[in-house]
Amino acid sequence: MLTVHHLGISQSERIVWLCEELEIPYELIRHERDPTTKLAPATYKALHPFGTAPVITDGDLTLGESGAIMDYIISKYGDGRLRIPSDSPEYADYLFWFHFANASFMASIMTSIVISMAGLEEGSPVAENLNKRKNKAFAMVEARLGEADYFSGATFSAADIIMLFPLTTMRAFMPMDLTPFPNIRAYLARIAARPAYQRAMKKAEPDMPPMTS
């Protein structure tokens, strides 16, 4: 049985959403963060050697990493649905945004947290360079969503599922004013209207309204 181990307010909400979009059977186990440290509890860290969310188990298999988990579920349980086929004109865009999400976008957003934790002054050269990367990433996302309804193009795909967290729940850790980004805001409204997303967030974060505005 496919089991999704969801850590509260974390990237593992993507996996819950993926399962809801594919309408596949799965068991959801929700793990609460430590009330003092706000970090994953020891029971969650023990699931996988790296100790971070997301994690799934499937029989004897334990798998971490958002992209790896999503590829696994789409291949094994989703008959390839939500993956853009290689002969589609949207394929290259799908690949780019699917990998950009964690390889570059999440990393660039984390810079604000790093700046704060390291005590770097906002005007310092290091802080300025880190912020430039984050701002460039948001500008790219805004431009893309001005060209197409979804990251792959006209088709909703797994690229949207993996790209959404940095635009929504990640803002619980790093507040971000989306007023200057009308295309991103319109995109979030489209996602918020999806029944599978609504179901997923009610299961993953029953006490927190989705951050889609």
- Report the predicted TM-score, pTM, of the whole model to 2 decimal places: 0.94
Neighbours of 77 (CB within 10 A): 16
Distance CA 192, CA 188 (A): 6
**100: confidence class by pLDDT, cuts 50, 70, 90:** very high
How does pLDDT run across 101-134, given as a tens digit for each residue? 999 999 988 877 777 666 666 667 766 777 888 8
Q: Which amino acid is at 213?
A: S
Could you tell me whether strands 2-7 and 55-58 are parallel, antiparallel, or unpaired per DSSP bridges? antiparallel
For 76, half-sphere exposure in the C-beta direction (CA atoms, 13 angstrom radius) is 13
> Sign (positive/negative) of CA torsion 198, 202, 184, 129?
negative
Question: Domains along the chain?
Answer: 2-83+198-204 (3.40.30.10), 91-194 (1.20.1050.10)
How does pLDDT run across 153-208, given as a tens digit for each residue? 999 999 999 999 999 999 998 888 999 999 999 999 999 999 999 999 999 999 99
